[in-house]
Structure 1
Amino acid sequence: MTSDYSGDDFYCDVALKGAVPLKKEYESDAVLAYHHTRPFWPVHIVVIPKRHIASFVTLSADDTPIFLEMVEVMKTLAASVTAEHGAARILTNLGRYQDSKHLHFHVSSGEPLR
């Protein structure tokens, strides 16, 4: 289902509905972190809020607790990835760079696979 998905919110429409198997790194009532279903880097973990938030620039004061939890998750994952692989990056995209219109961060390491 991931290769033929053509909507604009993969996380709400597919991942959070359990439509594809996910290799989870972290899960709470508010946040999910899992290995990307179509990785761009050898290590590619996605951190998302379980509640729909459109993007980084649409975060509101009401989203602060979720965002702070996401930051803690990214900090822990980035430290682990750095310890194991020697480097990590954290990235989010906006506007036309954002394929899925749901706030998400990539924790990754390595050179692009494609």
Structure 2
Amino acid sequence: MQLPEYHGDDFYCDVAIPHPEALRVVHDDARVLAFQHTKPFWDVHVVVVPKRHIPSLTATTDADEADLRALFAAVRSVAGVVEAEYGAAAVLTNLGRYQDSKHLHVHVHSGARRPQLDRWR
């Protein structure tokens, strides 16, 4: 399956989580999905996302604790693999206007930044 062109505001709920078979998945469990970014900004670029909709890091509540624990355990694991393979890794989340998809997600990346011809997802 090929991912459709997407112009909404929650790529993860609308496309990625329901269609992991269309992604290059690196981690998948009951609470978290991690996959290679569909339009990477860096040479190595993995996105880690909770499967339950959480709007952003700053919108979390006590009710999100289990999902956040699972999310950051997956981020730690993915970042460890990237760091071991490439010698360095960075972890990033965006907030407010910087957050294109209004669903909490964490980028794990390494290497040079790639030029972008259009908006990322």
Superposition TM-score, scaled by structure 2 size: 0.88
Structure 2: stretches of 5+ with no match in the other structure? 116-121
Structure 2 residue 86 is the aligned partner of structure 1 residue 85? yes
Q: Which residue number in structure 1 is paired with residue 67 of structure 2?
A: 66
Contact kept, 8 Å, 1:33 with 1:46, in 2: the verdict is yes
Contact kept, 8 Å, 1:14 with 1:20, in 2: the verdict is no
Q: Distance in 2 between matches of 1:112 and 1:98?
A: 18
Shift of 1:19: 7.7
Q: Which residue number in structure 2 is paired with residue 28 of structure 1?
A: 29
> Residue deviations 1:22-78, cap 9 Å, x none?
111111111111111111111100000101000001111111111011111111111
Q: Judging changes above 3 Å, is the alpha-carbon distance between structure 1 residues 19 and 35 closer, same or farther for their aligned structure 2 residues? A: closer
Identity of paired residues, percent?
Answer: 48
Contact kept, 8 Å, 2:36 with 2:45, in 1: the verdict is yes
Query: How do 1:1-114 residues align onto structure 2 when only pairs under 5 Å count?
Result: 4-18=5-19, 21-114=22-115
The amino acid that maps onto 1:94 is: L
